[in-house]
Amino acid sequence: MTRLVLTAPEREAIAAAVTAAEATTDGEIVTVVAERSDAYHDVALHYAVLAVLAMTALAAIWPGIFTPFDRGWEEADLARDLLALLIAQTLAFLIVRVALAYMPLRLALTPRGTKARRVRRRAVQYFRIGTESRTAGQEGVLLFLSADEHIAEIVTDAAVHRVIAPERWGDAMAALVDAVRDGRPGDGMVAAVTAIGAVLRDHFPKTADNPNELPDRVIEL
């Protein structure tokens, strides 16, 4: 798992990067780091159900597989065979559920697309709570890192979204994700904030009367 807790110097470096970036732009940058964006309990349940279905398929393909000591000359016992299948299904379900209680394994088996959607949903949720329309010019940008998934998201306020294409954030996202994979989330956040600031500066240069409307410190969840 990625180290979640930022050190004090990393927190200070991220806050300083936000302050420096906002010194050149009217845009406001909010940084949020979360351990993960979802518990993915449904993923574990889906694999457990799949294991149950696999036991059913095995019983259909190889009748008697769960009653291997059946004597060929004995009359088939449907009740016994169904009970054996039920026991096999129950064991398969419990084994998979217990195994996937181990979060690294659960995350490894979660499809990348599912993780990306959950991270995006969580980022939008935090944006709506803490960033959206909280600046006079609607120039807020949320940088969200979900550490365990190694996925980051950038969500922007209305004024920023109108003039800056999502592709412009590519350098910031790449710098952050690469650093997180190397176990350097603090460095990645600093690099991403610096890149975001450079983009904002081109479109929303600093004006004399623009106040600091959102906190510069990194928010850890």
Dist CA 100 CA 162 (whole Å): 43
Length of the chain: 221
Q: Which residue's structure tokens are 């936000």? A: 18
* Range scoring the smallest mean pLDDT among 49-53, 65-69, 163-167, 203-207: 65-69
CATH 3.10.310.50 fits 8-38+111-220, yes or no: yes
Please tell me the predicted confidence (pLDDT) of residue 16: 94
Tens of pLDDT, residues 9-57: 999 999 999 999 999 998 889 999 998 899 999 999 999 999 999 998 9
Q: Give percent of the chain above pLDDT 90.
A: 42
* pLDDT(72) > 80: no
Average pLDDT of span 180-202 = 90
State residue 178's pLDDT score: 87
Helix, strand, or coil here: 144?
strand
Q: How confident is the model at residue 1 (pLDDT cuts 50, 70, 90)?
A: very low
Q: Give the pLDDT score at 144.
A: 94
User: What are the residue ranges spanned by the domains of the chain?
Assistant: 8-38+111-220, 41-108
